[in-house]
């Protein structure tokens, strides 16, 4: 059974947040969601690139309801500022697609001293979601979608004793670890949302091989070793266009039949129609979730307190 953007239900009145919304898969998600009536918050780092993305979407969807919030996931302070701006403007968030990411970058640290790939691909989203939990659980049936990769099979669990891979850094290993963390975040968060009795769900998606700027940036930044140029060339020749690569994220976010705690991706692994994927080694993956929570809380100072957010939402609803 095929699934396309035309299968996205009417999203009029829904508020969606997409990180990395100014290019590649994030831009494709933004165009598709706004085309079905959602108000989309475009959270992205580069203002000039975001202006171009806005113009491109409005040329395609003149009636698109769009809002820009600057977001640099490599900065914990900047991420908290973005979360505060979103929370102030929107009491309810219906959809969050945690899409932004970097791939196989050379070893470097953020302003907070975090390893860059872990910081952008996981810790930034951890803080953003933690700060926006009250808005998410206030929605009638919110969806959170994190973005993983087939490279997660190269990754290992985050070690709280050495979260930044000091003395052990390898660009692909660090990327795979950050993308395994994205999957573990979705699984752990969905379990917490269920335990707290909220109607929200967390899911995970991987795009397969999509022809975006991700591979090109890896090469430009001098990362990826000999694999960098290979994947850049492979994506150009065989990768799906962004609009098709984004379908797994979009289906996880909008298909009424998509259940929490599930993984979505292309049918043939790298390409194909978006479908639910069997989660290989689920028990082993879940065993790493407590360590990820420990490291993420220690590094960011954010607790991801679903119980507190749910209790506050219930109290607010009771007081109406």
Which is nearest to 307 in space by CA: 154, 206, 173, 200? 200
C-alpha span between 79 and 70 (Å, rounded): 9
Q: Annotated catalytic residue: which of 114, 126, 172, 175?
A: 175
Q: Where are the domains of the chain?
A: 7-212+242-315
Angle of helix 213-220 relative to helix 227-238, nearest 10 degrees? 160
Residue 175 among the catalytic residues:
yes
C-alpha span between 320 and 316 (Å, rounded): 7
Q: What are the beta bridge partners of residue 202? A: 144
DSSP 277-309: E--TTHHHHHHTHHHHHHHHHHHH-----HHHH
**Residue 163 contacts residue 299 (beta carbons within 8 Å):** yes
Tens-binned pLDDT, residue by residue, of the chain (320 aa)? 699 999 999 999 999 999 999 999 999 999 999 999 999 999 999 999 999 999 999 999 999 999 999 999 999 999 999 999 999 999 999 999 999 999 999 999 999 999 999 999 999 999 999 999 999 999 999 999 999 999 899 899 999 999 999 999 999 999 999 999 999 999 999 999 999 999 999 999 999 999 887 877 777 878 777 687 876 787 788 789 999 999 999 999 999 999 999 999 999 989 999 999 999 899 999 999 999 999 999 999 999 999 999 998 888 878 76
C-alpha span between 13 and 24 (Å, rounded): 25
Which is nearest to 13 in space by CA: 141, 126, 165, 99? 141
CATH code of the domain made up of 7-212+242-315: 3.40.50.720
C-alpha span between 76 and 300 (Å, rounded): 7
| pTM reported for the whole predicted model | 0.96
């Amino acid at each position: 059974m095929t699934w396309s953007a035309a299968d996205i239900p009417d999203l009029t009145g829904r508020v969606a947040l997409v990180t990395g919304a100014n290019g590649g898969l994030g831009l494709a998600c933004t165009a598709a969601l706004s085309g079905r009536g959602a108000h989309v918050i475009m959270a992205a780092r580069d203002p000039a690139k975001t202006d171009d993305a806005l113009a491109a979407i409005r040329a395609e969807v003149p009636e698109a309801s769009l809002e820009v919030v600057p977001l640099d996931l490599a900065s914990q302070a900047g991420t908290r500022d973005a979360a505060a701006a979103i929370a102030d403007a929107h009491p309810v968030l219906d959809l969050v697609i945690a899409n932004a990411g970097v791939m196989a970058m050379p070893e470097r640290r953020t302003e907070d001293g975090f390893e860059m790939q872990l910081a952008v691909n996981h810790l930034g989203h951890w803080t953003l979601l933690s700060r926006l939990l009250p808005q998410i659980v206030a929605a009638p049936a919110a969806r959170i979608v994190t973005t993983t990769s087939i490279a997660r099979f190269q990754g290992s669990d985050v070690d709280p004793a050495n979260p930044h891979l000091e003395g052990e850094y390898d660009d692909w290993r660090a990327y795979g670890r950050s993308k395994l963390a994205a999957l573990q975040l979705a699984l752990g968060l969905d379990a917490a949302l269920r335990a707290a009795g909220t109607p929200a769900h967390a899911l995970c998606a991987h795009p397969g091989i999509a022809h975006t700027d991700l591979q090109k940036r890896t090469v430009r930044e001098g990362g990826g070793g000999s694999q960098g140029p290979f994947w850049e060339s492979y994506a150009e020749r065989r990768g799906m266009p962004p609009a098709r690569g984004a379908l797994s994220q979009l289906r996880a976010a909008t298909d009424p039949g998509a259940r929490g705690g599930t993984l979505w991706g292309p049918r043939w692994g790298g390409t194909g129609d978006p479908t639910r994927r069997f989660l290989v080694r689920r028990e082993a993956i879940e065993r790493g979730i407590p360590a990820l929570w420990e490291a993420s809380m220690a590094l960011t100072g954010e607790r991801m307190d679903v119980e507190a957010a749910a209790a506050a939402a219930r109290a607010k609803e009771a007081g109406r």
